[in-house]
Structure 1
Amino acid sequence: MSKHILMVIGLVAASVVPASAETLSLKVMGQPAGSGLIANNKEKPFFENLAANTGIDVAVAYSPVDVTGIPDSDGLRVLKSGLFDIVSIRGPQVSRDEPSVLGLDLVGLNTTFAAGRKNTDAFKNYVDGRIQEQFNAKLLGVWPAGPQVIFCKPEITGLDDLKGLKVRVGDQSAANFIAGLGATGVPMPFGEVQQSLSRGVVDCAITGPASANAAGWPEATTTVLPLALQLAINGYAINLDTWKKMTADDQSKLEGAVAALVDEIWAYSEELYDDSMRCNTGVEPCEQGKPYSLKEVPVLDSDIAVVAKAVGEKSLPVWAEQCNAMSPNCEAEWRATIGKNLGL
């Protein structure tokens, strides 16, 4: 066979190599860099090493949302636009664009990690359907930042002391709950909270102990009330156009790897909560955070009862009206899934 024919065969063979043999390029927008150890120790390394973690021939450009300059409330819009292929969705922040997301984590619903896992597993398929329909994106998994507790600059002894105070909240469900206590809920990006507490723009703020520790909130507060209002459910979603370009094998590998990451974060979030509460209140061992000396307020049975009643009396009715306005079957699907778990 002549060299010319061999060259032609080689050129033809090269021209018919399937597109899947090319390296897949993914742009990933992550959690804020300052939001804590879940982002820095789990999420960032996972995506930066996605090829090794999945076996997919992929190159990833990972950017924390606060580095991009994009508001974290725009996560779903960013997915729809295709500006990023995968987004680490901040659930409370994007719930105004898609209210069904908030149905995963109404105030009073997920007061423990076990309850949160059961409730999110029950409702996430509905949320996925809504995100696919409205934002051209597929939900790959959901996970908790951790129990959302109350940090205050003035000393408080319980929920009653919040009356008349300004409280930073992460979503509408928390805002409604805080309003019911006679306080004012103030929506505010996470990165602005520490300074706002220092300057008295807000008196108190709600987040997880690990995030508060990482962002230095104990430097601007005196008291923490470890009463879990929510779990701050976040998630990972991929643009459907990007998803459809992937081979079935690569799709399966990505789903499996993200599922494993999500499982890891659920366990890590619980570990972080315990350690961060010790760190924030000056108790040893403090292994993963910075030690502070906040006063930990004992949780009253009466306050636990107020939060427990919030789902049926405040969180669900207000949220259902908002969600049904966007999707008429939203409340019915919630009651058939999470509501069934709760006996509602």
Structure 2
Amino acid sequence: MRIKTILAGATALLAAAGAAQALTVNVVGNLGITTQSKTLEAPFWNEKLPEISGGEITANFKPWNEMGLKGPEIYRLLGQGVMNVATGQLGHSAGDVPINDATDLAGLNPTIEEFKAVTEAFRPTLSKYYAEEMGLEILSLHSYQAQILYCRDEFSGLADLKGRKVRSSGASQADFIEYFGGQAVAMAFGEVQQGLQQGVIDCAITGTLGGYSAKWHEGAGYLYTLPINWGSGATMANKAWWDGLPEAQQTLMRTEISKLEAEMWALNAKENEIGIACNTAGPCPEGEPAGMVRVDPTPEDVELRRKAMLEAVLPGFKARCGEACTGMWNAEIGPVVGLTID
């Protein structure tokens, strides 16, 4: 009897030890309508990570828009420990955290390749800032598609922004819009389609495929394909929670999330033209072409984009972010883009 009791006790202890090693991660995911979320992020947390970890790591995963969140509050809630890991767009909270705009200032990166180079250059600085100032651990930095204009009425170029109400998703986008005489409007992503349909706003900015998936074409007839910026995204963990994990679990998650990050960059580079095609005349692998009028930028507008960046966006960023932040930008990003903020 005594031997059976000892064996039962040992079995219970082993079971408890095994349970202690298991980890369930509470994850707030990216905007759920995006292919990035549906084809990469959700399968990663729901299937791939549990499989790779042999069931040791599982996740409670849900996109932020399906939780009734609007986007800008995600990282604040993460810092409070409401969830363990969250993915969002840095520009959404650039009003509260100006350094978020550093890599993705409107007009700074004409191509996704340039945006990626800037992101890599600033990663150590941004990671240090978030760890020390926000209590968050950056696990990935990634892209969305080109952020472009969807407009209700005829639109031929940047000069047509004058007098129009334009939904923006960040402070630098607002500086860009206002440089051309437009009025920047803060509006949650989920409210934009109705806002366009009802004429509450005249134009709105989002990714090429994201806007198609959200059916913005039901309220907008013109698609202006000039990339304004790229929508810097980040997956972060609550640092106190992260620091409390066993090293082996940290290493496994960081390794696998870095692979997910690479997949996100590749997907968005590929989907950029797909999104434009889906919104206009097709072909569209995601559904029926939306039939919007495609408006491509003139060389003059490409130059105007840079002029707005130099004369309005960079000074606006400096005013919000301060001297120390501007110094970090000049040291890390300046050499990549060949610019210095005075």
Q: CA deviation at 1:322?
A: 1.1
Q: CA deviation at 1:289?
A: 4.1
User: What residue in structure 2 maps to residue 331 of structure 1?
Assistant: 326
Relative distance call for 1:138 and 1:289 in structure 2 (3 A) is farther
SS in 2 for 1:73: coil
Asked if the contact 1:214–1:289 (Cα under 8 Å) also holds between the matched residues in 2, the reply is no
User: What residue in structure 1 maps to residue 245 of structure 2?
Assistant: 246
User: What residue in structure 2 maps to residue 152 of structure 1?
Assistant: 151
User: What residue in structure 1 maps to residue 58 of structure 2?
Assistant: 59
Relative distance call for 1:247 and 1:98 in structure 2 (3 A) is same
Q: CA deviation at 1:10?
A: 5.7
Asked if residue 120 in structure 1 is aligned to residue 119 in structure 2, the reply is yes
C-alpha distance in structure 1 between counterparts of 2:6 and 2:13, whole Å: 11
TM-score computed with the length of structure 2 as normaliser: 0.93
SS in 2 for 1:224: strand
Q: CA deviation at 1:66?
A: 1.7
C-alpha distance in structure 1 between counterparts of 2:326 and 2:19, whole Å: 41
User: What residue in structure 2 maps to residue 111 of structure 1?
Assistant: 110
C-alpha distance in structure 1 between counterparts of 2:53 and 2:13, whole Å: 27
- Superposition RMSD on alpha carbons, in Å? 1.8
SS in 1 for 2:102: helix
Partner amino acid for 2:135? Answer: N
SS in 1 for 2:226: coil
User: What residue in structure 1 maps to residue 254 of structure 2?
Assistant: 255
Deviations 1:179-219 (A, max 9, x none): 01011011111100000000000011111110110010112
C-alpha distance in structure 1 between counterparts of 2:5 and 2:307, whole Å: 76
Identical positions, percent = 28
Asked if the contact 1:276–1:289 (Cα under 8 Å) also holds between the matched residues in 2, the reply is no
Deviations 1:166-188 (A, max 9, x none): 11111110001100101101111
Partner amino acid for 1:167? Answer: V
Asked if the contact 2:118–2:336 (Cα under 8 Å) also holds between the matched residues in 1, the reply is yes
TM-score computed with the length of structure 1 as normaliser: 0.93
Partner amino acid for 1:269? Answer: N
Asked if residue 290 in structure 1 is aligned to residue 288 in structure 2, the reply is yes
C-alpha distance in structure 1 between counterparts of 2:307 and 2:122, whole Å: 21
C-alpha distance in structure 2 between counterparts of 1:106 and 1:5, whole Å: 69
Partner amino acid for 2:326? Answer: E
Asked if the contact 1:149–1:227 (Cα under 8 Å) also holds between the matched residues in 2, the reply is yes
Deviations 1:266-293 (A, max 9, x none): 1111111111111111132x21343111
SS in 2 for 1:340: helix
Q: CA deviation at 1:19?
A: 7.1
Deviations 1:54-76 (A, max 9, x none): 55612211111122223311111
Asked if the contact 1:111–1:147 (Cα under 8 Å) also holds between the matched residues in 2, the reply is no
Partner amino acid for 1:47? Answer: W
Asked if the contact 2:226–2:296 (Cα under 8 Å) also holds between the matched residues in 1, the reply is no
Relative distance call for 1:45 and 1:107 in structure 2 (3 A) is same
Which of 303, 318, 321 lines up with 1:320 in the alignment? 318
Relative distance call for 1:131 and 1:19 in structure 2 (3 A) is farther
The correspondence of residues 43-122 of structure 1 with structure 2, limited to 5 A, is 43-49=41-47, 50-55=49-54, 57-122=56-121
Which of 320, 333, 337 lines up with 1:342 in the alignment? 337
SS in 2 for 1:105: coil
C-alpha distance in structure 1 between counterparts of 2:51 and 2:317, whole Å: 41
SS in 2 for 1:275: helix
Shifted more, 82-91 versus 65-74: the winner is: 65-74
Partner amino acid for 1:63? Answer: K
SS in 2 for 1:96: coil
